[in-house]
Structure 1
Amino acid sequence: MFSEIVTPRFSDTDALGHINNTMIPVWFEGARNPVFKLFTPEMNLKAWPLILAKIDVNFEAQIYYGKDIEVRTYISRIGGSSFDVYQELWQENNRVSFGTAVMVHFDYRSQSSAKIPDDIKKQLSRHNVEL
């Protein structure tokens, strides 16, 4: 599991005083950086090997300004050329949101998916979670 603490900003709130729902996918994406680094340690955008195929976000409870959030990131599925990143948001020991991103190892030159190298699969599997 990868873990990251996010401190909500005032600008992340909505008219009701809660964290705006649009922030959750943004926080999830930012917390995927350790996964991205398994594929591109230098985070070189000119050699980027991944695309996002799908995201699902589920909201379980209100999220509040002024209280830190923990983003927990796991790998829930590893296929031949794609994998699922499962993530949860926790605030004050309560899971408030969860979601999954389907990532595809991608060759931009051929514009097609590419096999995930075995060494990267091994690294991904260290963060596996059973759902």
Structure 2
Amino acid sequence: MFTEVIQPRFSETDALGHINNTVVAVWFEACRTPIFKIFTPELNLQQWPLIVASIQVDFKAQLHYGQEVEIRSWISRIGNSSFDVTQQAWQQGKCCAEGRTALVRFDYQSQQASPLSPELRAALEQHCQS
């Protein structure tokens, strides 16, 4: 599992005084960077091998400005050319949001999914959690 602490910014709040729902997906994407580095260690966009097939976020409680948020990320499914990343946003000991993103290894020249190599699969398996 990967963990990262986010300090919510004032600009991420909404008119109701809590963190805007759209912000959580952005935080989740930022915290997938260690997973992206498995595929592209230098994060070279010219060699980017992943596309997003699906994003789902479920909100369980409000998130607030002025209090740290811990993002927990892990691999929850590995397929032939795709895998799922499950992520949670925790604040003050409570899971406030949980999401799942399906990522696909993609060949831009052929415009189709590309199988995960045994090496990539092994690297992803190191970060699996059920």
Smaller-chain TM-score range?
Answer: over 0.9
What letter corresponds to residue 101 of structure 1 in structure 2?
T
Give the deviation of 1:117 after TM superposition.
1.1
Runs of 4+ in 1 over 6 A off after TM superposition: none
Name the residue aligned to 2:2: 2
Unaligned runs of 5+ in 1: none
TM-score (norm 1): 0.98
1:118, 1:70 → 2: CA distance? 31
Give the deviation of 1:68 after TM superposition.
0.4
Name the residue aligned to 1:125: 125
1:122, 1:70 → 2: CA distance? 26
Aligned residue runs from structure 1 range 51-66, under 5 A: 51-66=51-66
1:85, 1:127 → 2: CA distance? 10
Name the residue aligned to 1:98: 98
Unaligned runs of 5+ in 2: none
1:103, 1:40 → 2: CA distance? 14
Aligned residue runs from structure 1 range 19-30, under 5 A: 19-30=19-30
Give the deviation of 1:129 after TM superposition.
1.2
Alignment partner of 1:108 is 2:103: no
What letter corresponds to residue 22 of structure 2 in structure 1?
T
Question: What fraction of aligned residue pairs are identical, expressed as a percent?
Answer: 52
Name the residue aligned to 1:44: 44
Give the deviation of 1:18 after TM superposition.
0.3
Give the deviation of 1:120 after TM superposition.
1.1
SS in structure 2 at match of 1:34? helix
Alignment partner of 1:15 is 2:2: no
Alignment partner of 1:72 is 2:77: no
